[in-house]
Amino acid sequence: MKCFAVGIVAALSLASVRMDAAVSGWLTWRGPLSTSVSLETDLPVKLEGVTPAWTAEFPGQSTPVIADGRLYINGYTGEGAALQEGVRCYDANTGKLLWEHRESDFLSDTIYLRYSTSSPTIDPETGNVYVQFTQGLFAGFTAEGRLLWKHSMMEEFGRLTFPNSRTATPVVDGELVITRGITSAWGAHGPAGDRFYAFDKKTGELVWSAAPGDRPQDNTFSNPFLDFWNGKRVLYSAGGDSSILALNARTGEPLWRFSFAKAGAKGGINASLIRYQDTLIAVHDSENLDSSEIGRMAAFRIPAPAEVKPTNATSPAVFTFKDLEVWRNNVGSLASSPVLVGDTIYEVSGTGDLAAVDARTGKVLWKKKLAIEQRQSTPFYANGYLYVAMYIAAEGADAAAKSDEDAGGRGDLWVLKPGPDGAEVVSHLPLDGRCYGSPVGFNGRLYLQTDKKLYAWGKPAARLASSPPAAAWPSPGPVAQLQIIPYEVLLRPGQTQSFRIRALDANGFTVSESVDPATCRWEPFIPPTALVRATMKASVNAAGQLVADAAPVGSGGQFKATWKTPDGREVAGYLKGRILPYLPVKFDFEEFDLSNTTTNTVEPPTAFAYPPLPWNSARFRFEVRNQADASGAASKALVKTIENKLFQRGQIFFGFPTATNYTIEADVLSEGNRRKMSEVGLINQRYAVILKGNSQELEVNSNQERLKVAAPFKWSPNTWYRLKVRVDGNPDGGGVVRGKAWKRGDPEPEAWTTEVPVPRVHTQGSPGLFGFAPQEMRVAFDNITVTPN
């Protein structure tokens, strides 16, 4: 136990540096040490034959968090189109449901029942709870369940979804709540990237966003580790580009990164990092960079400040793994995270082995087989015991006949007493449902969610375990920069936006919260690397407020604010924003200057223009060019790109997530022939209505697994059609999604081609476009209108 105590002290000095906590508990899924290690001494260890204290029918892949007698967890209810994901609050002692908040899926790639892969996070200062749902809705709640604020990360920031549905768990750091995701937004954030977003935890205003990695191969839910480095508050994490990265947690400034694994089919690095002395320990289950072997655990020394030389303010210093690697072994895991206890690391490999590793040398001390595989559950350690939840796949004909998610199977919960040479089994308990989430314990109770239910074992403890002590943050230095909040805005023409401005030191720590925007000098700013050299159609008034021009024209860009410090120095900060017309709107592309030339290998050089700058997720997926139809007539249109196989499919949002009760129309076209065509559609209030070429159908969907209804519709390649979509709600909360299509130039038919009733209708959502163009057959849009009903 001596080395365990030393490890606890070291971890406290690194992971628990934060503001004084007013709320105590198990506030994040990794716990107060960020290592899945608890200071509890009264958790149950004999579970076989013991009736749980309580259970709840709330399936998911989440891990509970607990504070002030309340347990919060993500999960889902319902089936088919009625399925909803939600966060619930239970009485931690009795299991009584106190409140819940549910959201429907929309426009996501989630398959089977891969919901609730993230966990809630509790703010230690206020007790507020932060949740990110699978489709990208990100929200803050009070402890009593009152909604504080909510963002649609998909519609506002171009967040992408994936069939594996990995969703990040928020992290609270001081006044910030930080989340992440692969996004494809606008401007410099147009290319897909694994990005971090820091919001003010009380107001929901964006404080900074950062893109510290290279092009991602897949999404990741690796939980960040917060620390201090070179006088800065730093966030360490694994990335969707299979790298290990560091950024300034106060400003988003990328600091350094290095590749850890070959990016490929297993996608990104999902296990969370831990810090041991002056090293970061990481785990992956992909192909190694320097061999064909699969999987690795490795320790990397943290670079010295003198080694870190970023190329500019937005690009980190880049190392190779060989520059920093201290040791490695062959313990690999796709998503289960390592647990650090003193000088020993415990990890469950992808092949179902519990391994003990010497953190100093990387030597594998022992392995114990618990199952044939493991998915993403992380071990939990308390008072000398390991609690390990295992995924047990179905066997035989049942497994072969069904999908992976419906194949049955179960979960096993093991309680083990680890020692120097192995682990003694204390309890082994089969569970109803498979285990993806991780076991945790607090106040004498052990909790675990399966994909069938939520379990609680044990009795409330006589006394709470002591909370880790808080440590003081560094005192700030002289003012060196400004931080404008909100950092990014979305306005309608004529709207006004106020700001608050912080003065920060060179390391990003707050010197003052009260810089008056009216005392700043404001000017439009175009980054030197901008492909589209544009500015917002807006100005800043005498009060330091941003005022969008009244003309109903979309635009995007940045502003720079310069402020003179009391000692006479000038410091600056930046904001970025978009202006989008509200209803009604009309777009054609005749005024676009086709002044660029393509350089891809699938066509001769062709003139094009970049898509509208303020449209989310348009860049690299769409471009404006002359599009010919079957008659040979050509006109300027927005056209789906085809040269990058990763971007065969794309959806654009060009409005406000709060838009409601409107009709969207557009001329649409698919290239192709009688046998092969592409897919083209419109998005209205989070429903996609898509003309599907190969199947000759008009399809309504919101998530392919939850809602997909098709009606026959014969249409021809290289021919313009008019597509029209509206969504109508009913007083009972249901509604109807309507779509019709007809050949451009023909009279509009009175009847709708398809009318799809939905039991719980989406009541708002940004208008958008959808294109899927495989096999080098483009789709195109023109004459887009959005009008109020």
Residue 68 has pLDDT above 90, yes or no: yes
Give the other-Cβ count within 10 Å of 326's Cβ: 17
DSSP SS3 for 726? strand
Residue 419 has pLDDT above 60, yes or no: yes
Tokens 């200057």 appear where? Answer: 593
DSSP code of 460? -
In this prediction, residue 398 carries a pLDDT of 45
Cα atoms in the 13 Å half-sphere on the side-chain side of 563: 25
Residue 126 has pLDDT above 80, yes or no: yes
In this prediction, residue 9 carries a pLDDT of 35
Provide the token pair at 643. Answer: 């040269």
Backbone angles phi, psi at 189, to 5 degrees: -95, 20
In this prediction, residue 66 carries a pLDDT of 97
Residue 206 has pLDDT above 90, yes or no: yes
pLDDT class of 293 with cuts at 50, 70, 90: confident
Lowest mean pLDDT among 235-244, 266-275, 366-375: 266-275
In this prediction, residue 563 carries a pLDDT of 98
DSSP code of 304? P
More confident site: 1 or 145: 145
In this prediction, residue 586 carries a pLDDT of 95
pLDDT class of 400 with cuts at 50, 70, 90: very low
pLDDT class of 305 with cuts at 50, 70, 90: very high
Give the other-Cβ count within 10 Å of 691's Cβ: 27
Instruction: For residues 665-674, give the mean pLDDT.
Output: 95
- Give the contacts of 104 (CB within 8 A, at least 6 positions apart): 83, 84, 85, 702, 706, 760, 762
pLDDT class of 267 with cuts at 50, 70, 90: low
Instruction: For residues 321-348, give the mean pLDDT.
Output: 95
Amino acid at 100: E
Give this prediction's pTM: 0.94
Question: What span, in angstroms and rounded, lies between the C-alpha atoms of 341 and 744?
Answer: 68
Residue 491 has pLDDT above 80, yes or no: yes
Question: What span, in angstroms and rounded, lies between the C-alpha atoms of 169 and 143?
Answer: 17
Instruction: For residues 537-541, give the mean pLDDT.
Output: 97
- Name the strands in the sheet holding 521-525, side by side, starting at the edge strand that comes first in the sequence: 488-491, 570-579, 555-564, 521-525
pLDDT digits 0-9 by tens, 336-355: 999 999 999 999 998 999 99
Tell me the percentage of the chain whose pLDDT exceeds 90. 77
Amino acid at 457: W
Instruction: For residues 124-139, give the mean pLDDT.
Output: 96
Instruction: For residues 363-374, give the mean pLDDT.
Output: 93
Residue 702, H or E segment:
strand 697-703
Question: What span, in angstroms and rounded, lies between the C-alpha atoms of 42 and 577?
Answer: 52
Smallest CA-to-CA distance from 443 within 12, 5, 93, 2 is with 93
pLDDT class of 10 with cuts at 50, 70, 90: very low
Cis peptide upstream of residue 486 (ω within 30 degrees of 0): yes
Residues 362, 363, 367, CA angle at the centre, nearest 5°? Answer: 115
Residue 5 has pLDDT above 60, yes or no: no
pLDDT class of 214 with cuts at 50, 70, 90: confident
In this prediction, residue 760 carries a pLDDT of 92
DSSP SS3 for 784? strand
In this prediction, residue 711 carries a pLDDT of 97
State the DSSP string of 44-82: ----TTPPPSEEE----S---EEETTEEEEEEEE--GGG
- Mean pLDDT estimate for the chain: 91
Tell me the percentage of the chain whose pLDDT exceeds 70. 93
In this prediction, residue 735 carries a pLDDT of 95
In this prediction, residue 287 carries a pLDDT of 85
Helices (H) and strands (E) in the chain, counts: 4, 61
In this prediction, residue 262 carries a pLDDT of 77
pLDDT class of 263 with cuts at 50, 70, 90: low
pLDDT digits 0-9 by tens, 493-534: 999 999 999 999 999 999 999 999 999 999 999 988 877 788
DSSP SS3 for 240? coil
Radius of gyration of the chain (CA): 27
Beta partners for residue 500, in sequence order: 485
Provide the token pair at 566. Answer: 């009391």
